[in-house]
Each structure stands twice: as structure tokens, then as C-alpha cells.
């Protein structure tokens, strides 16, 4: 393989009104989405031919676009149909990662006025990858808590899913240098925020908590909160100091890229009681099992 012949995952994309293989899913170098990270997106997954909480993802996608003053050129029903078609044509019904995105686009004159640009809308479906693969669920994720601050919510609205990832990617390199595999960023007050594409939770004395500020309000985060409430486990969204996070009985992450996944180690130390050796605790296990049971519930799924 040479730089001129990159390989692409299998799948299918919808670009400029056509369904194309992933290697043809390209963007102009002049697109504001590329040159300015001026874009928003959403990702849903489908498993065994069913989308999970598709409406929640579509609602967030359209809300995010509105916040950024981007007009999505199709309505939600049409967007869902394009997502379905990408999954079918891409052959990823069994486990698909389905992303819709809209960028500010390209202006014919390369004007500096964002209002002159014509937005770019794309959808693609590729095989779903898990942040922590199933075969490692007993071990859990090894997390580094970074001193890098997540971009403050006063600068970039974290509730509109975005590609402002310098902080997250630099955090990943910091984690690799520290011998960990993934990272959680913090805020100036020393509270934990989120990691690259996932939210975080802790369990302490039978109570669950997740950060309420400086984070994307993940659909999987919302699912975990609802499932906890169904189980009558107290759950609150509030500031979580890093010391409290390190001292948790259990900790887990949530993401469309893998659902509810346990954290086994924080900064090299096993999470929870020494005797458990970092293996997932009982509440994490129950929530994770329920999460996957819900993937067969007609109330939360939509057929591809
Ligand atoms: C997508 C994302 C998440 C997780 O959101 P889900 O809807 O659960 O997939 C968390 N944080 C960031 C920064 C994200 O981009």
C-alpha cells in the first residue's frame, strides 16, 4: 500500500446526492468543515438489522445543526431513509456505525463570510467498532486522567457534537505516554469531563454520578441514566472531582461505539475494591446487560 492508494473500510456513503463506496466519499479541500472544523454530526449504530434509539440521534443532529446555524437540506424522515440505504448498500446491517454530518460547505468565491458557503451534507455507514472490544469486558478500559482541559463550554458548545478534537487527541497521546489506552479530560476546576467520543460515570456506595458540564449529552449516557432509574438506583448529573473519580467503587464509559463499557484502571490503579482487581462491578454489569437487552425492545429500535 502506498500513500496514493489508501485502503478504506467496507460500507457505503451518500455524497452529493449519490450512493458511493467509502473510497469515493470525499470532501473539497476548500470545505469549511475541513479548513475550520465548522461542522456537526451524529452517529447511530445498528445491530442485527435494528437501529438503536434512531430518533434520539436524529433529534440531536437537527438540534446541533440549528445551534450552529446550519440548515440540513433534507428532513428527518429522508435522513433516516438515507441512513437505512447506506446500511443496506454497505452490507453492515449486523453491526453498523452510521454517521450523518453537515459542514458549512464551500463558497464559490472562497469568501470569508460563512453565509456565502453552501453546506455539505453526507451520510456513511461502516462496520461498528467498540471503544473496548467485548473480549476485554472483564478486564476493562485503562484510563489516564489528563491535565488537558476539555474545550470550555463557553468557547465551543459541547452539546452540539463536533470535530474540535485537538484536546482529545493530544490527551490520547498523553495517555499512551503514561501507559494507558484511553483518556478522560478535565476542566479548570479539576472535575472530570469526557473522553474521545465517550461520557464517563462512577458508582459510589450504590449511587451513580456523571458530569453535568462540559460534555456532550450522549444518547448512551441518557440510556444509562434511564436504565439506572428503572432499576431505582439513584443517579445524578453533577461535578465530579478527579479524586472522587479515582476513589469510585465502579466506573464505566458510555458511547454509541460500544455501549456501556467498564473502566478497569484509572492512572494505573484498579478501580474499586482490591479483591476485584479492576473487573467490572455489579451495577456496571447490570446496566450493561440491560443496555443490550434493550436492543431487542421495539420501543427503542427501528428496523433497517
Ligand atoms: C459522541 C460523543 C459522546 C458519546 O455520545 P453517544 O451519543 O453516547 O454516542 C461523548 N462525548 C463526545 C465528545 C462525543 O463526540
Q: What is the pLDDT of residue 7?
A: 82
The whole model's pTM is what?
Answer: 0.96
Answer whether 99 contacts ligand 1 (Cβ < 6 A): no
Q: What is the pLDDT of residue 6?
A: 67
Instruction: Average the pLDDT over 139-149 and give the result.
Output: 97
pLDDT at 4 over 90: no
Q: For residue 210, which phi and psi values (nearest 5 degrees)?
A: -145, 145
pLDDT in tens, 20-79: 999 999 999 999 999 999 999 999 999 999 999 999 999 999 999 999 999 999 999 999
Q: Best mutation site among 128, 216, 254 for ligand 1, i.e. most ligand atoms within 8 A of its Cβ?
A: 216
How far is Cα of residue 249 from the mean position of the Cα atoms in its chain?
24
Q: Cell numbers 483518556 correspond to what residue? A: 183
Q: Is the distance from CB of 104 to CB of 38 less than 8 angstroms?
A: yes
pLDDT in tens, 171-206: 999 999 999 999 999 999 999 999 999 999 999 999
Answer whether 218 contacts ligand 1 (Cβ < 6 A): yes
Q: Across the chain, what does the average pLDDT equal?
A: 96
Q: Indicate the pLDDT class of residue 8, thresholds 50, 70 and 90.
A: confident
Q: Is the distance from CB of 186 to CB of 149 less than 8 angstroms?
A: yes
Residue nearest to atom 1 of ligand 1 (CA): 197
Q: For residue 220, which phi and psi values (nearest 5 degrees)?
A: -70, -35
Q: What is the pLDDT of residue 251?
A: 98
Q: Is the distance from CB of 229 to CB of 237 less than 8 angstroms?
A: no
Q: Cell numbers 479548570 correspond to what residue? A: 188
The residue ranges of DSSP E strands in the chain, in sequence order, are 12-15, 18-20, 39-47, 50-52, 95-106, 118-127, 141-149, 182-186, 194-195, 198-204, 207-210, 235-237, 250-255, 259-266, 269-270, 301-303
Q: Indicate the pLDDT class of residue 3, thresholds 50, 70 and 90.
A: low
Answer whether 254 contacts ligand 1 (Cβ < 6 A): yes
Instruction: Average the pLDDT over 131-146 and give the result.
Output: 97
Q: Best mutation site among 99, 168, 194, 218 for ligand 1, i.e. most ligand atoms within 8 A of its Cβ?
A: 218
pLDDT in tens, 246-267: 999 999 999 999 999 999 999 9
Nearest ligand 1 atom, CA 221: 8
Nearest ligand 1 atom, CA 217: 5
Nearest ligand 1 atom, CA 168: 13
Instruction: Average the pLDDT over 107-132 and give the result.
Output: 96
Amino acid at each position: 500500500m502506498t500513500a496514493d492508494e489508501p485502503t478504506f473500510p467496507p460500507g457505503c456513503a451518500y455524497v452529493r446526492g449519490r450512493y458511493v463506496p467509502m473510497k469515493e466519499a470525499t470532501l473539497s479541500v476548500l470545505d469549511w468543515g475541513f479548513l475550520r472544523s465548522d461542522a456537526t454530526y451524529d452517529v447511530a449504530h445498528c445491530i442485527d438489522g435494528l437501529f438503536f434509539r434512531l430518533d434520539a440521534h436524529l433529534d440531536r443532529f437537527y438540534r446541533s445543526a440549528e445551534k450552529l446555524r446550519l440548515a440540513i437540506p433534507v428532513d428527518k424522515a429522508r435522513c433516516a431513509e438515507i441512513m437505512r440505504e447506506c446500511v443496506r448498500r454497505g452490507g453492515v446491517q449486523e453491526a453498523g456505525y452510521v454517521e450523518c454530518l453537515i459542514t458549512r460547505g464551500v463558497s464559490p468565491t472562497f469568501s470569508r463570510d460563512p453565509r456565502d458557503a453552501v453546506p455539505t451534507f453526507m451520510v456513511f455507514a461502516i462496520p461498528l467498532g467498540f471503544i473496548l472490544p467485548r473480549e476485554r469486558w472483564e478486564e476493562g478500559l485503562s484510563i489516564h486522567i489528563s491535565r488537558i482541559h476539555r474545550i470550555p463550554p463557553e468557547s465551543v458548545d459541547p452539546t452540539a457534537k463536533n470535530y474540535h478534537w485537538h484536546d482529545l487527541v493530544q490527551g490520547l497521546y498523553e495517555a499512551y505516554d503514561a501507559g494507558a489506552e484511553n483518556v478522560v479530560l478535565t476542566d479548570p476546576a479539576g472535575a472530570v469531563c469526557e473522553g474521545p467520543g465517550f461520557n464517563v460515570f462512577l458508582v459510589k456506595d450504590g449511587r451513580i454520578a456523571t458530569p453535568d458540564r462540559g460534555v456532550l449529552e450522549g444518547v448512551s449516557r441518557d440510556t444509562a441514566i434511564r436504565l439506572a432509574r428503572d432499576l431505582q438506583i439513584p443517579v445524578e448529573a453533577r461535578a465530579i472531582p478527579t479524586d472522587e473519580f479515582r476513589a469510585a467503587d465502579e466506573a464505566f464509559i458510555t458511547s454509541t461505539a460500544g455501549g456501556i463499557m467498564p473502566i478497569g484502571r484509572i492512572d494505573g490503579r484498579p478501580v474499586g475494591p482490591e479483591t476485584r482487581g479492576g473487573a467490572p462491578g455489579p451495577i456496571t454489569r447490570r446496566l450493561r446487560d440491560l443496555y443490550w437487552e434493550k436492543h431487542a425492545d421495539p420501543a427503542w429500535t427501528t428496523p433497517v
